[in-house]
C-alpha cells in the first residue's frame, strides 16, 4: 500500500497549484481520501476529504472556496486544486487514506508529502 | 470545532522508562480517537486507533486508553527509535482535528 504525492513547489501569492497523489496496493475507489497539511515547525491540519466515489467532498473553513479536491478512480489518483494561494497555505501537504470503506476521517496510510511554498 | 489538547508538550525520559501522554477533547468524542507518531522529516504513522486498538505491525509497548473526553497514550518501555512527536486526533465529526503534539526525546 503506497501513496505518492507530487506537484508541490514555489508559487506567488494569489497563484494556483495542483497536487496529485498516486495510490497503489489497494482498491483505491473503495476508500475515502483526505489531504492533511503541516506548516513548517507546526502541527497537523486536516484540509479536505472526499468519498470513495468522489460524489462528496469536505473542506476546512480555511480553504473552502479556494481549494477543490477530486479523484480519478480509473487512474488511482487523488487531486488537490489550490487557487488564490496565501502565505499561510505554505506547508507540507500529505494525502492520507481512510481505514474503512465508509468515511471516518481517520487516516491509516499517509504519503511522504509534498512541499508547497507561497511567497513572492 | 472540537479542540484537542495534549500534555505535556515535550518530555525527556531514559531508555526503558514508562512514558505517558494525555489528550483531552473539548467535548465527548466516544472512542473516536487515533494516536500517530511522526519522526522528523517523515509522514505521521498510525499507532493506535479507536482509542485503544494497536495498529497492525506496531510494537506492543505502545498502548492507548480512554473514552469520552480523556485519553492516555503510553510507551511501556521507551526505546531510542521512539524519539518522535506524538499526536492525538479525533474523528467524531467534521472537521477532524489534531492535538498540538508531544515531543519525546531521550534523556
Nearest to B43 among A49, A99, A111 (CB): A111
Taking CA–CA distances from A40, the nearest residue in chain B reads B41
Of chain A, the percentage scoring pLDDT greater than 90 comes to: 93
A9-56 tens-digit pLDDT: 999 999 999 999 999 999 999 999 999 999 999 999 999 999 999 999
- Put simply, whether B44 touches A (Cβ < 8 Å) is yes
Q: Across the interface, do A44 and B94 touch by the CB < 8 Å criterion? A: no
Confidence of residue A102 (pLDDT cuts 50, 70, 90): confident
> Residue A101 has what pLDDT?
77
Contacts of A39 in chain B (CB under 8 A): none
Query: Is any Cβ of chain B less than 8 angstroms from the Cβ of A105?
Result: yes
Provide, as residue numbers in chain A, all residues whose Cβ is less than 8 Å from the Cβ of B46.
99, 106-109
pLDDT at site A55: 94
Residues of B in contact with A108 (CB under 8 A): 46, 49, 55
DSSP per position, A45-58: EEEEEE-TTSS-EE
Tell me the Cα Rg of chain B: 13
**B45 reaches A (C-beta below 8 A):** yes
**pLDDT class for A103, splitting at 50, 70, 90?**
confident
C-alpha cell at A4: 505518492
pLDDT tens column, B1-25 = 999 999 999 999 999 999 999 999 9
DSSP code string of B35-90: EEEE-TTS--EEEEETTTEEPTT--TTEEEEEETTEEEEEESS--GGG-EEEEEEE
Candidates A44, A56, A58, partner chain B, best to mutate (most B CBs within 10 A): A44
- B87 contact A CB<8A: yes
Interchain pair A105, B87: CB under 8 A:
no
Quick: pLDDT tens for B35-48: 999 999 999 999 99
A110: nearest CA partner in chain B: B43
Three cell numbers, residue B90:
479525533
Query: CB–CB of B87 and A43 under 8 A?
Result: yes
Element spanning A3, H or E: strand A2-6
Number of inter-chain CB pairs under 8 A, A vs B: 54
Distance CA A64, CA A52 (A): 20
Q: Average pLDDT of B68-81?
A: 98
Distance from CA of B89 to the nearest CA of A (A): 8
Amino acid at each position: 500500500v503506497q501513496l505518492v504525492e507530487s506537484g508541490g513547489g514555489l508559487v506567488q501569492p494569489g497563484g494556483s497549484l495542483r497536487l496529485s497523489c498516486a495510490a497503489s496496493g489497494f482498491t483505491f475507489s473503495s476508500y475515502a481520501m483526505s489531504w492533511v497539511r503541516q506548516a513548517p515547525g507546526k502541527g497537523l491540519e486536516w484540509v479536505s476529504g472526499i468519498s470513495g466515489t468522489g460524489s462528496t467532498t469536505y473542506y476546512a473553513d480555511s480553504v473552502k472556496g479556494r481549494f477543490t479536491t477530486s479523484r480519478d478512480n480509473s487512474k488511482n489518483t487523488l487531486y488537490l486544486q489550490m487557487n488564490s494561494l496565501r502565505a499561510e497555505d505554505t506547508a507540507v501537504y500529505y494525502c492520507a487514506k481512510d481505514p474503512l470503506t465508509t468515511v471516518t476521517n481517520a487516516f491509516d496510510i499517509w504519503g511522504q508529502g509534498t512541499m508547497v511554498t507561497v511567497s513572492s | 470545532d472540537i479542540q484537542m489538547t495534549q500534555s505535556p508538550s515535550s518530555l525527556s525520559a531514559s531508555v526503558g522508562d514508562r512514558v505517558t501522554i494525555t489528550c483531552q477533547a473539548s467535548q465527548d468524542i466516544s472512542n473516536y480517537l487515533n494516536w500517530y507518531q511522526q519522526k522528523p522529516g517523515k509522514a505521521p504513522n498510525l499507532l493506535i486507533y479507536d482509542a485503544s486498538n494497536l495498529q497492525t505491525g506496531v510494537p506492543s509497548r505502545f498502548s492507548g486508553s480512554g473514552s469520552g473526553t480523556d485519553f492516555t497514550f503510553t510507551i511501556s518501555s521507551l526505546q531510542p527509535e521512539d524519539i518522535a512527536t506524538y499526536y492525538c486526533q479525533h474523528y467524531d465529526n467534521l472537521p477532524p482535528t489534531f492535538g498540538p503534539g508531544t515531543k519525546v526525546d531521550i534523556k
